Amino acid sequence: MSSDTATRSQHAQELMGKIEQRTAVVGIVGLGYVGLPLARAVMDAGYPVLGYDTDGEKIDALDQGRCYIEHLGDEFFNELRTSEAFSASSDPQSLAGADLVLLCVPTPLGSHNEPDLGYVLDSTRMVSKILRPGQLVVLESTTYPGTTRQEMMPLLLEGGLECGKDFFLAYSPEREDPGSPGRSAAVIPKLVGGVDETSGDLAFQFYSNAVASVHKVSTAEVAESAKLLENIYRAVNIALVNEMKTVLTDMDVDIWEVIDAAATKPFGFQAFYPGPGLGGHCIPIDPFYLSWKAKEIGRHTHFIELAGEINTSMPLYVIDRLAEALNTQSKPIRGSRVLVMGIAYKPNVDDARESPAAEIMDLLAERGAIIEYHDPHLPTFPRMRNYDLDMKSVRLDENTVKSTDVVLIVTDHDAVDYDLIGEHASLIVDTRNAMSRAASIRGTLVKA
Does residue 3 surpass a pLDDT of 60?
no
pLDDT at 136: 98
pLDDT at 384: 81
pTM score of the predicted model = 0.91
- Distance separating alpha carbons of residues 7 and 11, to the nearest angstrom: 11
In degrees and rounded to multiples of 5, residue 52 shows phi and psi of -135, 140
In DSSP terms, which residues pair with 115 in a beta bridge? 109
pLDDT in tens, 228-261: 999 999 999 999 999 999 999 999 999 999 999 9
Does residue 2 surpass a pLDDT of 60?
no
Calculate ∠ Cα 405-407-408, nearest 5°: 125
Give all domains of the chain, ordered by start, each with its CATH number: 5-218 (3.40.50.720), 219-312 (1.10.1040.10), 313-448 (3.40.50.720)
**Confidence at 1, pLDDT banded by 50, 70, 90:** very low
Task: Identify the weakest region by mean pLDDT among 23-27, 106-110, 180-184.
Answer: 180-184
Does residue 337 surpass a pLDDT of 90?
yes
**Of the candidates 279, 281, 138, 153, which has an alpha carbon nearest to the alpha carbon of residue 211?**
138
Average pLDDT over the chain, rounded to whole? Answer: 94
- Each residue of 92-114: b (16+ CB within 10 Å) or e? bebbbebbbbbbbbbbebeeebe
Q: Kindly list the catalytic residues.
A: 282
pLDDT in tens, 347-357: 999 999 889 99
Task: Identify the weakest region by mean pLDDT among 4-8, 61-65, 371-375.
Answer: 4-8
pLDDT in tens, 188-213: 999 999 999 999 999 999 999 999 99
Calculate ∠ Cα 145-11-94, nearest 5°: 75
